[in-house]
């Protein structure tokens, strides 16, 4: 791995065994984006890759005879107003109102390792040989503003992590109106854009559309990354690229606030990708001596298809974005009382649920919404983070100890960023609400958002929750966020700083997460936002797992988990078995299928076990035994391969293969049963061709097994008997395959 600077040609070459990324200092001092893609060998000069042609309407940036025009140049970090009419990466408004800036190269540093981004989540290294970082300093002489572009190239992975910093060095302040985390320009537009879009209960569906001239993209303006609707991710794939073959460029933003991910194709077939904080709701005043840091964008290149790109994100995010005690640990199997009781519970009911959970092998009991203040419905109580002792006479401390005595760990639900107007907190501090003066404050689920741009609000909430954590035996926190932001305005910021509210809010949330995770390092945090409405890399930095969706129907979950796996590792995907008929859809799916699908994630139950028959309780017990055996493989020690897409056919298929390829767990799930149907072969992936595997699966409660070599399993596939699917329930039936190598195969791999 190396970041090389060729002084004579003014070219930076970021290259490892996988990728090359070339930046050139142009004759006018600005930076050009010469190449990004598969590794090419290094040479002193790549200037011939620069394209310059005389064209009508050319606005030339240098004196004659140059033809250098910003409109036709693949710029590294384009700014507004000097001849490029495409969307810029940076716009700064100066005191005289001008938005024109020209940033030219001043200096650069190349260092081993990766510096942290202050106050922001970001990927990291554990030792300096894992990555190298280039920082290029540019300067705009008129506004006296410095721009630092940062690039970290990871050693073993086709990954470049980027961000920008803007520092005001002159006396007059500037207003940053737009500051992207990354900009990349490609020659050609032969791409399709992949995005993860949806809505509540159908989050992160995979959508693909061809690029066209003009703008296309996704944007989140809800204050919680893209909410359930959009995810801070896009990929550009070649039209022929499939899950397992072909070229793809992924862009993922490590941020949980408003974002923009945009492509722009010019009529000359240049494609610009921009990713960063959405400029729609953003403006940041920078005074002398101040620095603004953009969130980090993580770019992945792969020539092994979408699945190849996903595996890189999984590896990086699982080990170098997630942090702390739980990062590499098997996740506890939990029972959450929400769908079992909703608000209708008392202490005895909870203890009864916990005893039942213990019987089947559950390890963690989670008390969801409804334990605090006057919270007997969703009209009141948010903000009152003290126990409702009418419902739980022993208090949270007492209850947690009783649950521990049963032999389970105890977890608690909170929604720290929110307030109900019917709460003691609101009565004492009505000014804590984020709202615009003289305007109606829209509510959602009868709740409002706290002004986390204010330190004293964050401190107040911190002190309440830290007290409970200190006084109780709490091993897990589910941190929910159940509404989008509206009328954002902070009474504590001046008129010239209102554009900062949305980002400052996120910085407040991150600071509270940072404080709580460092004060209580062994508590497992699970993030949540009405299910999966804030499922992003930023959250993963603080909370190693996230509730994937409120939709727990196994058939719907196939799509949601398939789409989520495009970027996010299975160790992050909160997945539970719930009751039937399903509470979101009224659909009934077999318990075996619900278990099998939920096992490809963190796993748990979200129902009242008292409502299950003895036979179903046996099935649950066996599921938990299986998950305990397989969770290390699934959550921390495997590569994930998507095999059959629920967006394309009747079947969903995927497999987790251990790093040494000696073990695997695969799922085949069908939507509707087919009558008098054709034959079905389930082709696996990721196995060792020459290894013989014992394949074990269950049909109608009877265990079966056979052996076959990896090549046969991958290329000829497993013949699936339609009868077996019928025995597994017909509609929505699943088959769960476990594979063990007959003789171990060893392979060495990095993180």
Query: Which residues of this protein are in contact with ligand GLA, per CB under 6 A?
Result: 338, 368-369, 413, 480, 482, 528, 530-531, 547, 550
Output 32 or 606, the one with its CB closest to ligand GLA.
606
Residue nearest to ligand GLA (CB): 369
**Shortest distance in whole angstroms from residue 392 CB to ligand GLA:** 17
Token code pair at residue 502? 């949305």
Catalytic residue among 480, 536, 553, 608: 480
Cα torsion 391, 394, 396, 401: sign: negative
Cβ proximity of 543 and 479 under 8 Å: yes
Output 530 or 636, the one with its CB closest to ligand GLA.
530
Output 231 or 619, the one with its CB closest to ligand GLA.
231
Total number of residues shown for the chain: 751
- 244: exposed, middle or buried (Cβ count in 10 Å: 0-12, 13-18, 19+): middle
162 forms beta bridges with: 151, 297
Which residue is associated with the tokens 């107003």? 81
Indicate left, alpha or beta for 113 from its phi (over 0: left) and psi (-120 to 50: alpha).
left
**Shortest distance in whole angstroms from residue 612 CB to ligand GLA:** 20
Residue 550 annotated in active site: yes
Catalytic residue among 422, 451, 550, 608: 550
DSSP letter, residue 380: B
Residues 6+ apart with CB under 8 A from 725: 670, 673, 733, 735
Output 151 or 479, the one with its CB closest to ligand GLA.
479
Query: Pairing relation of β-strands 131-140 and 248-254?
Result: unpaired
CA distance 707 to 693: 5
Percent of the chain that is helix, strand, coil (3-state, to 5): 25, 35, 45
End-to-end CA, the chain: 16
Token code pair at residue 333? 């199997």
**Shortest distance in whole angstroms from residue 480 CB to ligand GLA:** 5
Query: Pairing relation of β-strands 104-112 and 131-140?
Result: antiparallel
CA distance 480 to 715: 44
Cβ proximity of 5 and 12 under 8 Å: yes
CA distance 238 to 233: 17
CA distance 644 to 243: 10
663 backbone dihedrals φ, ψ, rounded to 5°: -140, 155
CA distance 220 to 226: 4
Cβ proximity of 156 and 269 under 8 Å: no
Token code pair at residue 471? 């006084």
| Residue 4 CA neighbour count, 13 Å, CB half | 17
**Shortest distance in whole angstroms from residue 547 CB to ligand GLA:** 6
Output 413 or 732, the one with its CB closest to ligand GLA.
413
CA distance 516 to 519: 5
CA distance 566 to 72: 33
Active site residues: 480, 550
């Amino acid at each position: 791995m190396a970041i090389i600077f060729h002084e004579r040609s003014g070219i930076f070459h970021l290259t490892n065994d996988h990728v090359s990324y070339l930046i050139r200092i142009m004759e006018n001092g600005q930076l050009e984006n010469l190449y990004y893609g598969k590794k090419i060998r290094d040479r002193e000069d790549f200037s011939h890759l620069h394209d310059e042609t005389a064209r009508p309407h050319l606005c030339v940036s240098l004196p004659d005879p140059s033809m250098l025009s910003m409109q036709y140049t693949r710029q590294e970090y384009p700014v507004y107003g000097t001849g490029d009419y495409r969307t810029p990466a940076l716009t700064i408004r100066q005191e005289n109102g001008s938005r024109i800036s020209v940033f030219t190269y001043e200096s650069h540093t190349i260092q081993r390792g990766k510096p942290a981004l202050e106050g922001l989540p970001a990927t990291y290294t554990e030792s300096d040989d894992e990555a190298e970082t280039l920082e290029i300093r540019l300067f705009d002489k008129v506004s006296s503003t410095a721009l630092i572009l940062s690039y970290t190239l990871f050693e073993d992975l086709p990954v470049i992590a980027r961000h920008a910093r803007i520092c005001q060095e002159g006396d007059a302040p500037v207003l940053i109106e737009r500051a992207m985390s990354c900009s990349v320009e490609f020659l050609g537009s032969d791409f399709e854009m992949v995005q993860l879009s949806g809505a509540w209960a159908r989050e992160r569906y995979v959508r693909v559309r061809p690029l066209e001239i003009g703008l296309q993209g996704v944007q989140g303006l809800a204050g919680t990354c893209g909410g359930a609707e959009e995810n801070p991710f896009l990929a550009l794939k070649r039209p022929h690229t499939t899950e397992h073959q072909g070229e793809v460029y992924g862009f993922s933003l490590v941020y949980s606030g408003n974002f923009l991910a945009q492509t722009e194709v010019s009529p000359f077939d240049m494609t610009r990708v921009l990713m960063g904080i959405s400029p729609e709701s953003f403006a940041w005043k920078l005074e002398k001596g101040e620095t603004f840091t953009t969130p980090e964008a993580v770019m992945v290149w792969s020539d092994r298809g979408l699945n190849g790109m996903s595996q890189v994100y999984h590896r990086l995010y699982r080990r170098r974005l997630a942090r702390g005690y739980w990062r590499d640990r098997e996740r506890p199997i939990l029972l959450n009382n929400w769908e079992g009781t909703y608000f209708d519970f008392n202490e005895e009911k909870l203890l009864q649920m916990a005893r039942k959970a213990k019987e089947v092998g559950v390890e963690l009991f989670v008390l969801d919404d409804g334990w605090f203040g006057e919270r007997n419905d969703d009209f009141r109580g948010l903000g009152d983070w003290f126990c409702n002792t009418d419902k739980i006479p022993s208090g949270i401390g007492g209850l947690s100890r009783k649950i521990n005595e049963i032999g389970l760990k105890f977890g608690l639900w909170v929604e720290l960023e929110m307030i109900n107007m019917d709460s003691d907190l609101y009565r004492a501090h009505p000014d804590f609400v984020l709202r615009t003066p003289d305007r109606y404050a829209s509510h959602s689920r009868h709740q409002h958002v706290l002004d986390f741009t204010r330190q004293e609000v964050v401190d107040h909430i911190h002190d309440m929750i830290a007290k409970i954590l200190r006084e109780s035996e709490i091993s897990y926190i589910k941190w929910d966020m159940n509404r989008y932001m509206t009328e954002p305005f902070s009474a504590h910021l001046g008129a010239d700083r209102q554009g900062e509210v949305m980002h400052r809010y996120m910085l407040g949330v991150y600071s509270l997460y940072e404080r709580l995770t460092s004060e209580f390092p062994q508590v497992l945090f699970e993030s949540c936002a009405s299910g999966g409405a804030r499922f992003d890399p930023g959250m993963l930095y603080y909370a190693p797992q996230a509730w994937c969706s409120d939709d727990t129907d196994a058939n719907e979950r196939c799509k949601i988990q398939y789409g989520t796996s495009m970027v996010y590792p299975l160790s992050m995907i909160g997945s539970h078995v719930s009751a039937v008929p399903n509470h979101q859809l009224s659909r009934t799916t077999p318990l075996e299928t619900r278990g099998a699908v939920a096992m490809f994630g963190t796993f748990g139950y979200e129902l009242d076990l008292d409502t299950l028959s003895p036979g179903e309780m046996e099935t649950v017990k066996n599921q938990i035994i299986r998950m305990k055996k397989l969770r290390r493989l699934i959550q921390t020690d495997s590569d994930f391969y998507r095999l059959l897409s629920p967006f394309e056919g009747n079947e969903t298929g995927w497999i987790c293969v251990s790093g040494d390829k000696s073990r695997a767990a695969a799922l085949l799930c069908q939507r509707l049963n087919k009558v008098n149907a054709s034959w079905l072969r389930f082709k696996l992936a990721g196995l060792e061709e020459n290894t013989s595997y014992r394949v074990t699966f269950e049909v109608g409660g009877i265990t079966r097994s056979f052996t076959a070599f990896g090549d046969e399993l991958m290329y000829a596939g497993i013949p699936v008997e339609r009868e077996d699917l019928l025995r597994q329930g017909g509609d929505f039936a699943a088959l769960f395959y476990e594979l063990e190598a007959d003789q171990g195969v060893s392979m060495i791999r990095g993180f």
